């Protein structure tokens, strides 16, 4: 099979699949070595996004077809409401689990400094976190880990896509500049707001 | 969280709470930034005022932190226990600084009482940064829609064995009970039948072995006609799985559960006979 044929073959498989497909699964179906499949799939990811409404995304160690972000509004209108955005507490909890997995609820709570029972339950219900056995020791607490769905949800190819210790410190060192940039662009969600924001009330308030 | 139409007494409280940062205004709205916890508040106070996190002015930060708690109470947010605990920690650190030191003590002797707090703040700040990053990923990825069509279960790679939970089994049992319905067989006489767990266990085990290969959970109950029999069969099944004689596998969430006999030396001997 030529590389061009392989690309089209991969497109067929991705089209009929309802989740990301790995190089191994596709190599079996296409009867082609995994490395060639992976190369051809990478071609599809790198393809000019303006030629099609469907783009190929590398995610969770595999590939999947997704709609072009350009038409997100139209697709949203057609599909209807999506699951709610995750709360800041949920994102924090996921970050802690992702870096320390498998880890216990107590470990999450120690870092966050707040009770995380509800947050963890919500993440399990959404399939982003799952139980991973029990920790040996007093009380044998339940261990948690992130799921494959976690990678898909955030469009990550693997956990290695998250910044490592050094990258994180570098990001934090840059933080003041980013805050200034955000302030210049006006207030926006997630940007650092002043602790107490006081503004004149409407006359009738 | 806006204190627009608050009663007069509470309004006065708000004025007081805000005075330390902002000149008082006859009427105004108060917006409190939502914090995820005490660490979040402290980090904000330190970073916003560009304080050196390794040399936190503990008296100043403690005062501001307590001010924030008072604000939370004033706008009826309620102060969670964690916030109070942190207030106690801050005051404890502060008190250590106020205590007179023994004259012999060197300025840099012994651990700084702030060390533990600083370590936790820095640690928390890292995860908060990752959380922001994940939020960015979430925003970007929400614009992409993947297919949501369900495919045939048999197309999916099987879930590794041992991942069937007791809840999955119970769900499957409920399905069987609904499907079979009680008393589908015409009842003309009611012979008293004695069913024991042991009997059911050997019966169920034999049934799986005779089936050969993976037996669907639903098929296990094809011959059971009454609720008692189904329940006993289910209990027998649980016991067989617990003893490791049968293995349960599920190919997809909410999918069919398959049972197969675990190979063991006893079984081989029996087959040889």
Residues of A in contact with B129 (CB under 8 A): 168, 171-172, 175
Residues B72 and B176 in one domain: no
B44 with A192: Cβ contact below 8 A = yes
Q: Are residues B126 and B44 part of one domain? A: yes
Contact A171 B129 (CB under 8 A): yes
Q: What pLDDT score does A185 carry? A: 42
Q: Which of A30-44, A161-175, B166-180 has the lowest mean pLDDT?
A: B166-180
Domain end (from B78, B107, B141): B141
Q: Is the dihedral of CA B225, B229, B230, B231 positive or negative?
A: positive
List chain A residues with CB under 8 Å of B80. 114-115
Q: Which of A76, A108, A140 is the last residue of a domain?
A: A76
Nearest to A168 among B120, B124, B129 (CB): B129
> What's B183's domain CATH number?
1.10.10.580
Chain B residues in contact with A114 by the CB 8 A cut-off are 36-38, 80, 82
Q: How far is B231 from chain A (nearest CA, A)?
A: 28
Chain A with chain B: Cβ pairs closer than 8 A: 168
| R_g of chain A, CA atoms, integer Å | 22
**Which range marks the domain in which residue B232 is found?**
157-272
pLDDT of B203: 86
Tell me, yes or no, whether A186 lies in a domain: no
Q: Do A195 and B48 touch (CB under 8 A)?
A: yes
Nearest-by-Cβ selection for B132 from A115, A162, A190: A190
| Mean pLDDT of all residues in A168-187 | 60
Looking at the complex, does the CB of residue B25 fall below 8 Å from at least one CB of chain A? yes
Q: Contact at 8 Å (CB) between B161 and B206? A: no
Computed over every residue of chain A, the mean pLDDT equals 84
| Closest-CA distance of chain A to residue B145, Å | 5
Task: Please state, in angstroms and rounded to a whole number, the distance separating the CA atoms of residues A82 and A154.
Answer: 14
Domain boundary among A25, A54, A76: A76
B24 assigned to some structural domain = no
> Are the C-beta atoms of B58 and B114 separated by less than 8 Å?
yes
Hey, are the CB atoms on A200 and B31 less than 8 Å from each other?
no
Nearest Cα residue to B245 out of B216, B204, B211, B273:
B204
Band (A4; pLDDT cuts 50, 70, 90): very high
Looking at residue B54, what DSSP letter applies?
A: G
Residue A80, φ and ψ in degrees, nearest 5: 100, -165
Q: Are residues A59 and A96 in the same domain?
A: no
Point out the domain boundary residue: A24, A45, A76.
A76
Q: Which tokens in the block code for residue B217?
A: 């959970």
Are B224 and B199 in contact by the 8 Å Cβ rule? The answer is no
Contact indicator for A14, A21 with CB cutoff of 8 Å:
yes
Q: How far apart are CA B30 and CA B198, in angstroms?
A: 70
Say which of B71, B127, B143 has its CB closest to residue A96.
Answer: B127
Res A199 pLDDT > 50? no
Query: Is residue A170 situated within a structural domain?
Result: no
Asked if B133 and B162 sit in the same domain, the reply is no
Q: Does one domain contain both B217 and B177? A: yes
Nearest chain A CA: its distance from B177 CA (Å): 26
Q: Which of B36, B123, B141 sits opposite A154 (nearest CB)?
A: B141
Q: Note whether B22 contacts A192, CB cutoff 8 Å.
A: no
Task: Suggest the residue from A201, A202, A204 to mutate for an interface test with chain B (most B CBs closer than 10 A).
Answer: A201
In a domain, residue B58? The reply is yes
Q: Cβ contacts of residue A101 below 8 Å, gap of 6+?
A: A132, A143, A144, A145, A146
Tell me which DSSP letter residue A204 carries: T
Order of strands, sheet of B246-250, starting from the edge strand that comes earlier in the sequence: B215-216, B257-261, B246-250
Q: By three-state DSSP, how is residue B7 classified?
A: coil
Given this model, what pLDDT does residue B31 score? 54
Residues in chain B predicted with pLDDT less than 50, given as ranges, are 1-27, 149-155, 183, 267-273
Q: Do B262 and B226 reside in the same domain of the chain?
A: yes
- Shortest distance between the Cα of A21 and any Cα of chain B, in A, equals 11
Per-residue pLDDT at A183 exceeds 50: no
Residue B13 lies in a domain: no
**Count of structural domains, chain A:** 2
CATH code: domain of residue A137: 1.10.10.10
ipTM: 0.78
Report the residue from B39, B44, B146 with minimal CB separation from A195.
B44
C-alpha distance from B151 to closest chain A C-alpha (Å): 7
pLDDT of residue A186: 38
Q: Which of B107, B141, B175 corresponds to the end of one domain?
A: B141
Distance from CA of B3 to the nearest CA of A (A): 9
Name which of A198, A200, A204 to mutate to probe chain B: the one with the most chain B Cβ atoms within 10 A of its Cβ.
Answer: A198
**Would the pLDDT of A95 be above 90?**
yes
Domain finish residue from B141, B171, B196: B141
The predicted pLDDT at position B157 comes to 54
- Tens digits of residue pLDDT in A97-146: 999 989 999 999 999 998 999 999 999 999 999 999 899 988 899 999 99
Query: What's the number of domains chain B is made of?
Result: 2
Q: Are residues A107 and A142 in the same domain?
A: yes
Query: A124 lies in a domain?
Result: yes
Task: Give yes or no for a contact between A144 and A130, defined as CB atoms under 8 angstroms apart.
Answer: yes
Q: What is the pLDDT of residue B262?
A: 83
Smallest Cβ–Cβ distance between B36 and the set A75, A89, A155 belongs to A89
- Residues of the domain holding A27: 3-76
Residues A38 and A8 in one domain: yes
Could you tell me if A133 and A101 are in contact, meaning their C-beta atoms sit under 8 angstroms apart? no
Is there a domain that residue B264 lies in? yes
The DSSP code for A123 is: H
């Amino acid at each position: 099979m030529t590389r061009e044929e392989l690309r089209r073959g991969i497109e067929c498989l991705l089209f009929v699949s309802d989740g990301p497909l790995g190089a191994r699964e596709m190599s079996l179906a296409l009867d082609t070595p995994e490395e060639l499949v992976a190369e051809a799939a990478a071609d599809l990811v790198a393809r000019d996004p303006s030629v099609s409404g469907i783009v190929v995304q590398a995610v969770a160690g595999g590939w999947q077809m997704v709609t072009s972000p350009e038409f997100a509004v139209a697709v949203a209108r057609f599909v209807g409401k999506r699951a709610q955005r995750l709360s800041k507490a949920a994102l924090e909890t996921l970050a802690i689990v992702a870096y320390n997995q498998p880890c216990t609820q107590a470990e999450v709570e120690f870092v966050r400094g707040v009770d995380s029972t509800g947050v963890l339950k919500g993440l399990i219900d959404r399939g982003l976190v799952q139980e991973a056995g029990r920790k040996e020791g007093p009380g044998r607490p339940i261990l948690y880990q992130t799921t494959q769905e976690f990678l898909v949800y955030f469009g990550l190819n693997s956990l290695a896509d998250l910044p490592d210790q050094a990258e994180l410190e570098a990001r934090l060192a840059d933080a003041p500049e980013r805050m200034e940039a955000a302030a210049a662009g006006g207030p926006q969600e997630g940007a650092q707001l002043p602790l107490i924001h006081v503004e004149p009330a409407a006359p009738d308030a | 969280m806006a204190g627009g139409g608050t009663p007069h007494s509470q309004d006065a409280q708000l004025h007081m709470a805000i005075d330390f940062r902002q000149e008082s205004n006859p009427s105004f709205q108060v917006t409190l930034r939502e914090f995820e916890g005490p660490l979040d508040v402290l980090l904000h106070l330190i970073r916003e005022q560009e304080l050196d996190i390794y040399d936190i002015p503990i008296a100043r930060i403690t005062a501001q932190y307590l001010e924030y708690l008072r604000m939370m109470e004033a706008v009826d947010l309620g102060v969670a226990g964690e916030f109070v605990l942190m207030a106690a920690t801050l005051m404890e650190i502060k008190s250590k600084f106020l205590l007179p030191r023994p004259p012999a003590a060197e300025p840099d002797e012994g651990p700084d009482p702030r060390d533990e707090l600083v370590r936790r703040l820095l640690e928390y700040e890292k995860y908060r940064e990752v959380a922001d990053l994940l939020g960015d990923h979430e925003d970007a990825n929400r614009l992409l829609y993947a297919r949501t069509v369900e495919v045939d279960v048999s197309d999916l790679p099987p879930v590794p064995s041992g991942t069937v939970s007791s809840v999955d089994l119970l769900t499957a049992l409920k399905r069987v009970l609904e499907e079979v319905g009680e008393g589908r067989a015409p009842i003309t006489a009611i012979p008293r039948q004695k069913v024991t767990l042991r009997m059911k266990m050997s019966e169920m085990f034999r049934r799986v072995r005779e089936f050969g290969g993976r037996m669907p959970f639903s098929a296990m109950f094809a011959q059971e006609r009454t609720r008692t029999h189904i329940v006993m069969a289910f209990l027998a099944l649980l016991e067989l799985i617990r003893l490791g004689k049968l293995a349960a596998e599920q190919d997809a969430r909410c999918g069919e559960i398959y049972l197969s006999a675990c190979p063991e030396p006893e079984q081989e001997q029996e087959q040889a006979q």
